[in-house]
Chain A
Amino acid sequence: MHDDQELVAATLKGNRTAFEMIIRKYQQPLFNYIGRMVGERELALDFTQDVFLRAYACLPSYRPQFKLSTWLFKIASNLVIDFWRKKKIPTMSLDQPFEEDGDSYCLQVPDHAPSVGRSYELTELRRKVDRALARLPAALRELFVWRHINGLSYEEMAEIKGLPVGTVKNKVFQAKELIRSRLEDEI
């Protein structure tokens, strides 16, 4: 496997095959992220294509001190946010406390609800997590997908969003708690 920086340098020298290798490496993680953010397959395919087209056009401005994956996810995130704005989907600031149903949401002490883990088999649990994920507020969903589906570190997520690591962690915990509480509601 070639190093990302080598592939970028080769692309900038006019080697299109190098950029095709970048696409092959990152197409699946980006599509997994964008698909779960926009919810429509065709739209997700278009957006994923757009990420690579923008990346190709902007490659001369890419700074090698950043990871290529982080840069690509940042482009994708900007596209998704533009989409939410055009669709008038609320895009809450991650700096603000998250509110659901008008009440400020905070991490609660665990209650005595039946255990979600014990109630479902893994396959069933995956299906339910996927469904609960689709109903998460978009900004929390984005962080949850990056963390648990794309496997990004908190530091990478903080860099993409331009937020402190602690804030990102807190939002990921909120997303997990929301998913857990929604699964408990289903039991």
Chain B
Amino acid sequence: MTCLTPDRLYRYLDGDLRPEEAADVEAHRTACVRCRERIEESRALAQAASSLPDLELPAGFAESVMNRIVRAEAPHRSWLAILGIGLGALGVSLGTLILASGQSAAGLLLGFGRGSLHTLQGLVVLFLKFFKVLLLAVKILPELAGTGLRGLSRVSGSFPVEILAGTVLVTIALASGLLFAFRRSLFVQDDIGEDP
């Protein structure tokens, strides 16, 4: 048998040769000093590589990864909380508005609808005029929405949920106040209309 090729040598060391091939290598190894040395050398190299010390990880590595995961999820969760608080506050505001007006909810909505009709017509015309612009905007909308959401996430991630929720509550209170004022002007118009 001729001396071992590297391919045959490594396959022998991996136990990848057929039994008769392995027996040939064993026989040759006994007879050939050079190949015997090469086998031992390859074993030594593999042993040295597999016993290389671990690279040192800093203590608390797993915790730091988990903290990043928690931080990445936090903005999403805080927005859900804020959305819930906002919807709740809106419901309370509308309830208060109905009670304070002394009218039924249906009457209040009817008055609001009447006053809004002219505004709505104007908005429809405006929307039609800008329809082409909107079509173009649709093409870049996903990117803009992504940027906007990322911005909102950063903002929500930078402030505690309590501050954000407070901001939403104040905004809704202001909006409710404006709505209340709008309702009053509607009722004044209604009063004028009903007077003889």
Contacts and interface: CB of A to CB of B under 8 A. Distances in A.
B68 A129 contact: no
Interface in A57-112: 107-110, 112
Interface in A1-41: 16, 19-20, 23-24, 27-28, 31-32, 35-36, 41
Interface of A is mostly: helix
Q: Which of A41, A112, A148, A170 gathers most chain B CB within 10 Å?
A: A148
Q: Range of interface residues on chain B?
A: 35 or more
B44 A176 contact: no
Given A27-B62, A173-B7, A122 B48 contact: yes
B34 A112 contact: yes
A56 B64 CA distance: 14
Contact of B47 (A32, A52, A53, A122): A122
Contacts of A183: 45
B7 A24 contact: no
Interface stretch (B53-61, B102-110, B140-148): B53-61
Given A117-B37, A176-B45, A180-B41, 7 more contacts: A23-B61, A23-B65, A28-B57, A109-B6, A116-B41, A117-B41, A118-B41
Contacts of B61: 23, 27, 31, 45, 48-49
Given A107-B5, A173-B6, A44 B66 contact: no
Contact of A116 (B3, B14, B44, B50): B44
A28 B66 CA distance: 16
A173 B87 CA distance: 65
Contact of B44 (A16, A41, A56, A122): A122
B46 interface: yes
